[in-house]
Structure 1
Amino acid sequence: MTSPAAVLFDLDGTLIDTEPLWMAAEDRLAAEHGIDWTADDQAALVGVDLWDGARTFIARGVPMEADAIVARLVGEVLEGLGGDLPARPGAIELLASLRAAGVPVALVTMSTRAIVDRVEATLAARLGIAPFDATVAGDDCERGKPDPEPYERALALLGVEASRAVAVEDSFTGARSALAAGLTTIGVPHAVDVSQLPGVVHWPSLAGRTPADLQAAIEERDALGARA
């Protein structure tokens, strides 16, 4: 086999470079309420379930309901995206090669369905084909990343076993979710250096990567497990 049975992509910071938009929206919210919001605070929310992030703001003194905080942040990110999708290096090319090879692909994100729909429509127009066979958004899940539920949902929708599939992530939270679901997990550092997490296959970038490289990551994990 030269390709994995399926590939499951995170969105923010993995496929699309939206992390600066999220961080800017969070900075504005914190500043509006006089909260000292640091780079460490920003990093702590990368890849986190949006409602968990909202509860962080509430605990820090933002007098808003969690749903209202999420709606505000999502609205600002959608406005910042406009009609463009700032892709991460090599991400769209790898996605296109997977679609051309007929490999099932899922999007597994803590962003809301509104953002998923925007991204899916824009990528479909760019690629000329539906970009994903399944999508799981943050508001689809009872328990968000780092719980395995988002990835388990996607695997069930694809009808694929975790042992034969690959997840691609850029955050500690997301990588923990994928690992807990039993997936070979490739970490591509962006806002945080996810390569530091044990069990993650480190790729500096998706540029130049192929479906065969993804399959090789599964085989490498299996070989390491057999020697353990």
Structure 2
Amino acid sequence: MSVAPVGGRGATAPSVGDGVRAVLFDMDGTLVETEEYWGEAMFELAASLGGQMSPEARAATVGTSMRRAMQVLHADLGVHRTEAQLLADAGWIEDRVAVLMSGGGIPWRPGARELLAAVREAGPATALVTTTPRRLAALVLASITADLGADPFDVTVCGDEVPARKPDPAPYLQAAAALGVDPAGCVVIEDSLVGVTAGLAAGMAVLGVPALQPVPPTPGLTLRGTLVGVGPAELDEVLAAGPARAVPGR
């Protein structure tokens, strides 16, 4: 767990406005442009298996576990793989993504860097909650930390450190518990349907910024095209619209 200050963050974690105690960020496709690495690796694996992954199948893998992603890929190609082969394919994908991520600075999603810096300046607790395993998340964290000058997250929860992965609420509940924050005071920022589902199931307000797959309107969810222009005031509005504060009939 990192407690390194960024941009004047104090010793305590006050709310952004009237109640935001913590902001929990997804990683791939939300904060950084890493989904393209996963896509490139899966397209390469599909070619090695003698096929071509469809755009629809690729979109269906966004935010999912590696096991689920491999099941989608194999079904899309119409190939049968044993359990050992599935695990080998998943390992190949992770190794290939590690190589791609190591090729240089990892680009931010539009508005993400500015929002993360503004949240740290405002003072609430922050967490990174990702389905990506620790060994790959560490590469992204190193890039983010190098850019910002310090690790901006109080807590980091990775996909290989939780009892169940998104869309289960376990990762977000684990992060909130580690921060010592009530889920009702948390805002989750996600790009995928499984991530949005996990955040809402955890009883948190969710800001959705879908990119590669559509996310339908849902009570407690605020949708935006990008994070450009999103700051502390907008996160207050997301929390107010969240499930813990929803007003019946509105």
- For 1:1-228, what aligned pairs fall within 5 Å after superposition? 2-3=16-17, 4-57=20-73, 60-62=79-81, 64-81=84-101, 82-194=103-215, 196-199=216-219, 200-221=221-242, 225-228=246-249
| Distance change (3 Å), C-alpha of 1:202 and 1:132 | same
Structure with higher Rg: it is 2
For the 8 Å contact 2:16–2:119, the answer to whether it is kept is: no
- For residue 23 of structure 1, report the CA deviation from its aligned partner: 1.0
CA–CA separation in structure 2 for the residues paired with 1:159 and 1:69 = 38
| Distance change (3 Å), C-alpha of 1:192 and 1:127 | same
CA–CA separation in structure 1 for the residues paired with 2:96 and 2:193 = 24
CA–CA separation in structure 2 for the residues paired with 1:109 and 1:68 = 22
For the 8 Å contact 2:239–2:245, the answer to whether it is kept is: no
- For residue 58 of structure 1, report the CA deviation from its aligned partner: 5.5
For the 8 Å contact 2:43–2:52, the answer to whether it is kept is: no
Deviation track 1:85-141 (CA, whole Å, cap 9, x = no partner) reads 111001011111111222211111111101211121221221122211111111112
Name the SS of the counterpart of 2:246 in structure 1.
helix
CA–CA separation in structure 1 for the residues paired with 2:202 and 2:245 = 18
| Distance change (3 Å), C-alpha of 1:184 and 1:157 | same
CA–CA separation in structure 2 for the residues paired with 1:223 and 1:47 = 24
- For residue 212 of structure 1, report the CA deviation from its aligned partner: 1.8
CA–CA separation in structure 2 for the residues paired with 1:187 and 1:176 = 10
- For residue 48 of structure 1, report the CA deviation from its aligned partner: 0.3
The two structures, once aligned, show a CA RMSD in angstroms of: 1.9
Aligned twin of 2:11: none
User: TM-score, normalised to structure 1's length?
Assistant: 0.91
For the 8 Å contact 2:21–2:186, the answer to whether it is kept is: yes
Structure 1 residue runs of 4+, over 6 Å off?
Answer: none
- For residue 55 of structure 1, report the CA deviation from its aligned partner: 3.9
For the 8 Å contact 1:2–1:215, the answer to whether it is kept is: yes
Structure 2 residues without counterparts, runs of 5 or longer: 1-14
CA–CA separation in structure 2 for the residues paired with 1:22 and 1:118 = 14
| Distance change (3 Å), C-alpha of 1:223 and 1:18 | closer
Name the SS of the counterpart of 1:185 in structure 2.
strand
For the 8 Å contact 1:120–1:132, the answer to whether it is kept is: no
For the 8 Å contact 1:90–1:209, the answer to whether it is kept is: yes
| Distance change (3 Å), C-alpha of 1:197 and 1:71 | farther
- For residue 36 of structure 1, report the CA deviation from its aligned partner: 4.4
